[in-house]
Amino acid sequence: MTPPRPKPSARRPRRPAEATPPASGGGPIELLPLAAGPARHPAIGLGLWGLGRWTPEDEARTKATIARAVERGIRWFDTAEVYGAGRSERLLGDVLARAAGATPPFYVATKVSWEHLRPAQIRAALVNSLERLGRTSVDEYLIHAPDSRVPLAETMPALEALWKEGRIGALGVSNFGVEELEEAERHLGEARIVVNQVRYNLFDRDEAEPVREYCRRRGILLEAYSPLARGVLAGRYLDGRPAAAEVRRRLVRLFDAERLPEVLDRARALRALAAEAELPLAAVALHWLRGRGAAPVVGASRPEQVDDLLAAWAAQPTAAVLDRADAIARGDRA
């Protein structure tokens, strides 16, 4: 089902769409099919979660970051009602309204909180998200995470009803394991789960692997969040700068005191591999995911990071480099 087009913005686009420079040396970002349908899901996107503390300065920087992404051809934006308690959606809506009419079109994804999974709550959550985003429909709507207290038998039909109304283009989930996916799929009629967004990167993959295999079999696109391991795979924290307490909290397992030195050692070995191949370290991290059929949703909190991310995406690591990176990240030093 094709959702109704969002209301065109009353404001004029600041820059004509045809003046948008290409996303990378390689032209526009490739589109991936969803559930064997037409190709419409960009292969890489920008996530709008960890953008600071939502001070006026942080908000101005975030808007500039989103605007740079729009200008450089990024079209998939990932947000959630819980990010900044709605501020992330509102900032995204503001910037995209100024770029209305851009081609290719935007692909906006947001998420219903795990605290809003009862049917009446879902409807209200979507209405509020759409209001903040300034749209009549969203391209992708995900359950942010399951809540064991609310049966999926309640949640999934409510989402399907919104999908049938055309308010949701693609239906998805996040942080779902195989059993939860099976259960969720059981409670859908005509609609299908077409996306599962999970934490997946070179260092953090064991939990995601069985899910990836299930998704591959079911034609569900795996979106990889934290693809740069919160910046480690962009070279952060490799030169002795300690990881911030906030970062440690966000990726507890990766940054836990015992595992951290080993992770940073492996990241340094990956950086050396990338340097030898004349590539940015992030290119190795992102193309490793791409090679595994996952679509990375990358965090960038300033415009220069958007440029770095697109430079990394435009690079082309060889299969041999990616195989070696895979081995190094697993701890094989031979």
Ligand X SMILES: NC(=O)c1ccc[n+]([C@@H]2O[C@H](COP(=O)([O-])OP(=O)(O)OC[C@H]3O[C@@H](n4cnc5c(N)ncnc54)[C@H](OP(=O)(O)O)[C@@H]3O)[C@@H](O)[C@H]2O)c1
Using CB under 6 A as the criterion, which residues of the chain lie in contact with ligand X when the complex forms?
47-50, 78, 144, 174-175, 197, 225-231, 234, 236, 297-301, 305, 308
Minimum Å distance from CB 129 to ligand X?
Answer: 14
Residues 6+ apart with CB under 8 A from 270: 202, 233, 281, 284, 285, 325, 328, 329
Q: Considering beta carbons, is residue 137 or 226 the nearer one to ligand X?
A: 226
Q: Considering beta carbons, is residue 303 or 320 the nearer one to ligand X?
A: 303
Query: Which among 226, 235, 232, 158 has a CA at the least distance from the CA of 189?
Result: 158
C-alpha 292/C-alpha 173 separation (Å) is: 19
155 phi-psi bin (left φ>0, alpha ψ -120 to 50, beta other): alpha
C-alpha 87/C-alpha 256 separation (Å) is: 30
Q: Considering beta carbons, is residue 96 or 228 the nearer one to ligand X?
A: 228
| 317: three-class secondary structure by DSSP | coil
Minimum Å distance from CB 307 to ligand X?
Answer: 8
Minimum Å distance from CB 211 to ligand X?
Answer: 13
Active-site residue (options: 83, 141, 214, 225) = 83
Catalytic (active site) residue 83? yes
C-alpha 48/C-alpha 297 separation (Å) is: 9
Give the distance from CA 104 to its chain's centroid: 18
C-alpha 84/C-alpha 289 separation (Å) is: 28
C-alpha 286/C-alpha 298 separation (Å) is: 9
Minimum Å distance from CB 213 to ligand X?
Answer: 20
Minimum Å distance from CB 58 to ligand X?
Answer: 10
Q: Considering beta carbons, is residue 141 or 225 the nearer one to ligand X?
A: 225
Q: Considering beta carbons, is residue 13 or 291 the nearer one to ligand X?
A: 291
Catalytic residue positions, numbered: 83
